[in-house]
């Protein structure tokens, strides 16, 4: 592979116009497809609403078959709620409060798009709490148009709520608007600017730093544009670009950084610009391909969860990563050829090509060189300290709670959540009822017994009498739980109903929107365990092939698991406990969205493999030159650590920029990645890994002979490339000698 990539880099550098033209054509093609889709938009509603098969969804299908009229009546409509709360010391039926409510209802009926307004004070159909402190009215809307139309109508209802009289408190429940991908904010811009500063400090060259960031930005743009173009052909969810954009930018910077750093090293070792490009793409490029492949496998592997939203996000992010890899291998050499020695700091330029400015086996003494010697010299202390820090950060994971959907909206401070909680306190889980589907012979005669049995279960506030189908073998009942769908008591109630056999000959199943979300959450948690097992096995296999070792993959995988645990713990502390509420603008205080842990595992696995490859491959290269284990660790660490520090810092600040989003899902993904990246780079890879390698010594590279024979040789160090160059040099010498003899 190293020879092929070397040739690819050499070709790209020599044919710059062709490569620029190819990428320009790809960009124009994606733009054209997306423009055509905007002109003839596809319906994305199905993509947004698609869910996996669960017990609740299958039961809902049975309800549709047996009770088609009921199913049709219960389809979700476009509605909002006006929740009226009487002031302290009064009730909603007091003359003054009732008059204020009636006036609000009259004004609500005049809002644009409102087709009907229910009157909670109507004796024929009251919606007033037992304490008479709360009344709930429903605003029904006719057919709504696009997002702008929904926004206009929602804003009108919100303005009505804000203009409520002092005699009654009014909150607006529900939301007509679909959740959309967040817009770019100042945090993302600041993150990119900080990344540029880090690159500038790392390279000491404005051109090198600018080229690195420019390639990453262009790659991210092409990747996201490709995803959006695909979305105009096959409808996808509106949030698929969240992970694609943040991950595409981050790995784009890192991959270009790794290759560009090796290019500068090759220039210093005396190679011409073209040869340095070929060597860099053949060595660091091989590591980029392998690292990118692990990220791709991890992201595509998210499809095993069988949840449409996660599959789409994983595939979109995988495409963005693929573009980043291809950009670093093809378009980056174009920029490196253009820069030449200007990629080096000013004091190292203007030297004739072929002049060696730094001996390749003698890296400069630095802080990181001293750090490596300290870690290698005191491995046990380093291991204990690093593990202790990670365990402390990970400790909050013991309180991890997840939910597929947060009832009442994602913002605990919003009027929607306030309205939901007011109704929950007075009416229980009436907004999220459980639909019980009972099947059995002579079901009608057993309905009273079923209702009585359900009413005795813990967590049940009310059982609404059911109806029987035409054949008399199925019935529907509505159970109002005491709590919301994210309460553990409600989840236990769903399982209890399913296991209930108190009424002989009757089978009970439960469904409804709340139950579907509960099942989705349980399915996600099960899938997380399965996915984690797959990732661990994949890590062991890939790293065994990569480093031809048994113990190194085990150590690296354990380090990855510690990074993931730290990421989960930090996310719980911030988004569930609200520790950084004053800093992070996104809503906090809710359970973690159940898709987040799976996404974090997939992305962090890919990134951890990146850092593992770039660190240990350099150590392996030094060991291959005959150095003893400890010296090889120090030498390889000293060469790779500066790039890893820069890469980890850049990745962290880019993700931190996205963590400033006001959208909970984007901020929580980004923050979890910040913690995971910092833990993996600065503790696992720069402390635990060199310490463990030092402790293991030569045993770290042990592999059974039978396994060594059957495992393919990836050649991450570029030995094949070096041998090829030596052969070419020998051929040139022989030809020169032959020419001299011929002349004589």
Three-state helix/strand/coil letters over 433-479: CEEEEEECCCHHHHHHHHHHHHHCCCCEEEEEEEEECCCCCEEEEEE
Residue 65 within a domain: no
Same domain (yes/no): 581, 445: no
Q: Which residue has the higher pLDDT, 665 or 513?
A: 513
The mean pLDDT of 56-83, rounded to a whole number, is 77
pLDDT at residue 313, rounded to an integer? 84
Give the domain-ending residue among 173, 207, 237: 173
Same domain (yes/no): 211, 348: yes
Same domain (yes/no): 373, 351: no
Total number of domains constituting the chain: 5
Same domain (yes/no): 499, 603: no
659 band by pLDDT with thresholds 50, 70 and 90: confident
Handedness of CA 375, 378, 383, 388 (dihedral sign): negative
pLDDT over 50 (residue 44): no
380 band by pLDDT with thresholds 50, 70 and 90: very high
3-state helix/strand/coil string of 58-94 = HHHHHHHHHCHHHHHHCCCCCEEEEEEEECCCCCCCC
Same domain (yes/no): 543, 674: yes
Distance CA 336, CA 279 (A): 12
pLDDT at residue 74, rounded to an integer? 45
193 band by pLDDT with thresholds 50, 70 and 90: confident
With vertex at residue 266, the alpha carbon angle to CA 263 and CA 270, rounded to the nearest 5 degrees, is 140
Residue 59 within a domain: no
SS3 137: strand
Residue 690 within a domain: yes
pLDDT above 90 as % of the chain: 43
Q: Which residue has the higher pLDDT, 353 or 396?
A: 396
Q: pTM, whole model, 2 decimals?
A: 0.82
Residue 73 within a domain: no
Which of 292, 271, 282, 291 is CA-nearest to residue 343? Answer: 271
pLDDT at residue 306, rounded to an integer? 73
Same domain (yes/no): 112, 220: no
Which of 647, 627, 610 is CA-nearest to residue 697? Answer: 627
Same domain (yes/no): 234, 345: yes
Same domain (yes/no): 685, 558: yes
Q: Which stretch of 24-28, 323-327, 361-365 has the lowest confidence by average pLDDT?
A: 361-365
pLDDT over 50 (residue 317): yes
pLDDT over 80 (residue 307): no
> Which token pair is 15?
């044919």
Q: Which residue has the higher pLDDT, 660 or 99?
A: 99
- Quote the domain boundaries for residue 131: 79-173
Residue-wise pLDDT for 484-495, tens only, equals 999 999 999 999
The answer to whether the beta carbons of residues 135 and 101 sit under 8 Å apart is yes
Give the domain-ending residue among 518, 545, 572: 518
144 band by pLDDT with thresholds 50, 70 and 90: confident
The mean pLDDT of 657-674, rounded to a whole number, is 85
Q: What is the CATH number of the domain that holds 93?
A: 3.30.70.1430
pLDDT over 60 (residue 40): no
Same domain (yes/no): 277, 195: yes
CB atoms within 10 A of CB 144: 14
Q: Which residue has the higher pLDDT, 362 or 718?
A: 718
693-717 as b/e: b if 16+ CB within 10 A: bbbbeeebbebeeeeeeeeeebbbb
Q: What is the CATH number of the domain that holds 547?
A: 1.20.1640.10
Q: Per 3-state DSSP, what percentage of the chain is helix, strand, and coil (rounded to 5)?
A: 65, 10, 25
Residue 164 within a domain: yes
Residue 61 within a domain: no
Same domain (yes/no): 535, 681: yes
Residue 311 within a domain: yes
Q: Please, what is the average pLDDT of the chain?
A: 85
Same domain (yes/no): 332, 388: no
Give the domain-ending residue among 494, 518, 542: 518
pLDDT over 70 (residue 724): no
The mean pLDDT of 136-155, rounded to a whole number, is 85
The mean pLDDT of 505-514, rounded to a whole number, is 91
The mean pLDDT of 288-316, rounded to a whole number, is 83
SS3 128: strand
Q: What is the CATH number of the domain that holds 471?
A: 3.30.70.100
pLDDT above 70 as % of the chain: 88
pLDDT over 50 (residue 741): no
Handedness of CA 550, 553, 555, 561 (dihedral sign): negative
Same domain (yes/no): 564, 697: yes
pLDDT over 90 (residue 458): yes
The answer to whether the beta carbons of residues 281 and 259 sit under 8 Å apart is yes
Residue 594 within a domain: yes
Q: What is the DSSP letter of 698?
A: G
353 band by pLDDT with thresholds 50, 70 and 90: low
């Amino acid at each position: 592979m190293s020879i092929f990539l070397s040739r690819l880099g050499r070709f790209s550098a020599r044919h710059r116009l062709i490569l620029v033209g190819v990428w320009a054509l790809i960009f124009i093609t994606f733009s054209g497809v997306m423009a055509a889709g905007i002109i003839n938009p596809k319906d994305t509603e199905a993509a947004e609403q698609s869910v996996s098969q669960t017990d609740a969804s299958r039961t809902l299908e049975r309800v549709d078959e047996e009770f088609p009229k009921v199913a049709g009546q219960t389809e979700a409509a476009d509605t909002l709620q006006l929740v009226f709360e009487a002031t302290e010391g009064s009730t909603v039926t007091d003359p003054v409060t009732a008059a204020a409510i009636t006036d609000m209802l009259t004004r609500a009926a005049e809002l644009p798009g409102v087709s009907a307004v229910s009157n909670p004070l109507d004796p024929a159909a009251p919606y007033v709490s037992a304490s008479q402190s709360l009344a709930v009215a429903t605003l029904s809307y006719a057919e709504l148009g696009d997002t702008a139309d929904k926004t206009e109508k929602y804003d009108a209802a919100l303005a009505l709520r804000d203009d409520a009289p002092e005699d009654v408190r009014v909150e607006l429940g529900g939301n007509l608007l679909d959740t959309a991908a967040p817009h770019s904010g100042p945090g993302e811009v600041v993150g990119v600017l900080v990344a540029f500063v880090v690159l500038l400090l790392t390279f000491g060259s404005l051109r090198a730093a600018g080229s690195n960031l420019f390639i990453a930005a262009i790659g991210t743009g092409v990747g996201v544009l490709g995803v959006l173009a695909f979305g105009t052909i096959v409808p996808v969810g509106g949030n698929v670009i969240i992970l694609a954009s943040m991950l595409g930018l981050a790995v784009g910077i890192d991959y270009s950084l790794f290759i560009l750093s090796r290019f500068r090293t090759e220039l210093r070792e005396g190679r011409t610009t073209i040869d340095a490009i070929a060597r860099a793409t053949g060595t660091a490029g091989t590591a980029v391909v392998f690292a990118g492949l692990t990220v791709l496998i991890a992201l595509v592997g998210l499809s095993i969860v069988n949840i449409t939203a996660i599959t789409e996000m994983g595939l979109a992010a995988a495409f963005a990563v693929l573009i980043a890899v291809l950009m670093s291998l093809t378009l980056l050499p174009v920029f490196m050829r253009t820069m030449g020695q200007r990629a080096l700091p000013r004091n190292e330029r203007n030297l004739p090509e072929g002049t060696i400015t730094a001996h390749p086996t003698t890296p400069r003494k630095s802080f990181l060189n001293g750090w490596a010697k300290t870690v290698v010299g005191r491995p046990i202390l380093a291991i204990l300290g690093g593990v202790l820090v990670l365990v402390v950060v990970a400790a909050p994971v013991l309180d991890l709670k997840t939910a597929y959907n947060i009832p009442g909206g994602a913002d605990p401070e919003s009027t929607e959540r306030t309205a939901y909680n007011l109704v929950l306190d007075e009416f229980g889980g009436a907004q999220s009822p459980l639909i019980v589907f009972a099947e059995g012979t002579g079901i009608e005669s057993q309905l009273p017994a079923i209702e009585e049995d359900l009413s005795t279960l813990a967590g049940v506030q009310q059982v609404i009498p059911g109806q029987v189908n035409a054949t008399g073998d199925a019935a529907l009942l509505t159970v109002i739980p005491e709590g919301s769908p994210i309460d553990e008591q409600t989840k236990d109630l769903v399982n209890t109903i399913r296991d209930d056999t108190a009424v002989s000959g009757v089978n009970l199943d439960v469904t409804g929107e709340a139950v579907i979300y509960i099942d989705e959450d349980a399915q996600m948690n099960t899938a997380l365990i399965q996915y984690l097992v797959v990732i661990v096995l994949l890590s062991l296999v890939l790293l065994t092939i990569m480093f031809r070792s048994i113990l190194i993959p085990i150590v690296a995988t354990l380090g990855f698991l510690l990074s993931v645990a730290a990421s989960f713990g930090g996310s719980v502390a911030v988004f569930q406990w609200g520790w950084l509420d004053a800093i992070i603008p996104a809503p906090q205080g809710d359970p973690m969205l159940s898709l987040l842990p799976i996404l974090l595992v997939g992305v962090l696995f890919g990134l951890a493999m990146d850092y593992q490859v770039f660190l240990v491959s350099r150590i392996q290269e030094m060991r291959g030159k005959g150095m003893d284990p400890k010296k090889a660790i120090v030498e390889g660490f000293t060469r790779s650590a500066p790039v890893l520090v820069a890469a980890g810092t850049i990745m962290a600040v880019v993700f931190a920029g996205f963590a400033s989003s006001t959208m909970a899902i984007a901020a929580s993904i980004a923050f979890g990645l910040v913690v995971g990246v910092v833990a993996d780079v600065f503790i696992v890879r720069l402390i635990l890994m060199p310490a463990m390698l030092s402790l293991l010594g030569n045993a770290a590279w042990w592999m059974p002979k039978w396994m060594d024979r059957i495992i393919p040789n990836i050649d991450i160090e570029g030995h094949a490339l070096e041998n090829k160059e030596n052969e070419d040099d020998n051929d040139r010498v022989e030809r020169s000698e032959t020419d001299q003899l011929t002349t004589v």
